[in-house]
Amino acid sequence: MTNILRSNVIQDDITKEISQSFDYEFDGETKFNVPYMPDLPQDYGIGLIVGASGSGKSSMLSKFGSEEQIVWDESKAICSHFANTTEAQEKLSAVGFNSIPSWLRPYHVLSTGEKFRADLAMRLKDNAIIDEFTSVVDRNVAKSCAYAIRRYVDNTKLKNIVFASCHYDIIEWLQPDWVYDTTTNRLTVGRGSVRPEIQLEILPCSIEAWKMFCHHHYLTGNINKSSRCWIATWEGTVVGFTAVITLPSGTLTNAWKGHRTVILPDFQGLGLGVRLSDAMGELHIQNGLRYFSKTGHLRLGEYRNKSKNWRATTHNMEDRSKQYARSIKNKTNTFYSKELMEKHANRICYCHEYVGSND
């Protein structure tokens, strides 16, 4: 069932000429079909109104309230508009906005897509109303954003957030608790769809590909010139890069270690980094090699601590200052500058060997 809304305009020479030219009967009145509000669950995390343009999505969304208008202070960085550092990091990441340099910029210099995601991050709260969700971003980015938002809402227990979108491809990634399709006037309750499995294609590449990723590494843009490199693609789109180098040791033979792994900001939050890292480990042990990796990245390190595919080594979770002092004493650091080592001396370092799932 639908409601009928009417809108009237003054007839003039232009409206008459246009309607006559296209054989469109028009008397100044336009009618809109607006779906009735269905019986919705009282308690939910995410609801989604989806349908074609002109099918009444925005009109139905307005029954839940109005979208919050965000006011940005041009003298402050994007991240400074949140209550604290943790909220800024979590909410910006939750909408697929993972560019640290952009977090530190004012709103008015951002790209259209970045502005959309910054606005969305500010709106993420209980009873939020969000129209035209993911309409101004690439479809793969939209899926990534939807996935990250679902995870954030589940983790924070946010309630009664309603989105409206003309894109059906986000449903299986957003996993809404109910979906109302304004094109068919059909309500579906429950997370009925199954999220697709992400399949990465990993291809060898030249070290020159690092130029596309170097600005996104969490520590440094440098890379060892002897690196072996690969790129990762998802549905034909380049999303990540990884590189490995030999591990010189007096006691180990045929050993390699991870050197650089970067997932582009638009695709972070999907777990692609750990998939790429595991794939590199599997590639090496399947070829009779040993594979080690050291990282200061919290999420990647904690994943390895819990994974049966990785085994902690002697210096796992050491303060980098100890490793820095040891490298100076043994004269083993030939790549990192003293300034870089000192800058990150107090970071916890995670050290593991990949052993595979059948260890």
Q: Which domains does the chain have, with CATH numbers?
A: 1-36 (no CATH), 38-189 (3.40.50.300), 200-354 (3.40.630.30)
Taking a C-beta distance cutoff of 8 angstroms, is the pair 232, 240 a contact?
yes
Tens digits of residue pLDDT in 142-194: 888 888 899 999 999 999 999 999 999 899 999 999 999 988 888 999 887 67
What was the pLDDT predicted at 346? Answer: 65
d(C-alpha 251, C-alpha 248), whole Å: 9
* Residues 6+ positions from 349 with CB-CB distance below 8 Å: 294, 295, 296, 301, 315, 316, 317, 318, 319, 320, 323
Taking a C-beta distance cutoff of 8 angstroms, is the pair 142, 163 a contact?
no
What was the pLDDT predicted at 190? Answer: 87
> CA neighbours within 13 Å on the CB side: how many for 52?
6
Task: Give every residue of the chain whose pLDDT is below 70, as ranges.
Answer: 1-3, 5, 32-36, 136, 193, 249-250, 320-346, 358-359
SS (H, E, C) 239-259: EEEEEEEECCCCCCCCEEEEE
* Closest by Cα among 257, 247, 260, 256 to 220: 260
Phi, psi of 294 (to 5 degrees): -125, 135
What was the pLDDT predicted at 321? Answer: 63
What was the pLDDT predicted at 95? Answer: 84
* Residues 6+ positions from 187 with CB-CB distance below 8 Å: 38, 39, 40, 178, 179, 180, 181
What was the pLDDT predicted at 3? Answer: 66
What was the pLDDT predicted at 339? Answer: 60
What was the pLDDT predicted at 122? Answer: 96
* Residues 6+ positions from 290 with CB-CB distance below 8 Å: 247, 252, 254, 255, 256, 284, 353
What was the pLDDT predicted at 271? Answer: 84
pTM of the full structure: 0.73
Task: Say which DSSP state 74 is in.
Answer: T
Q: How many residues does the chain have?
A: 359
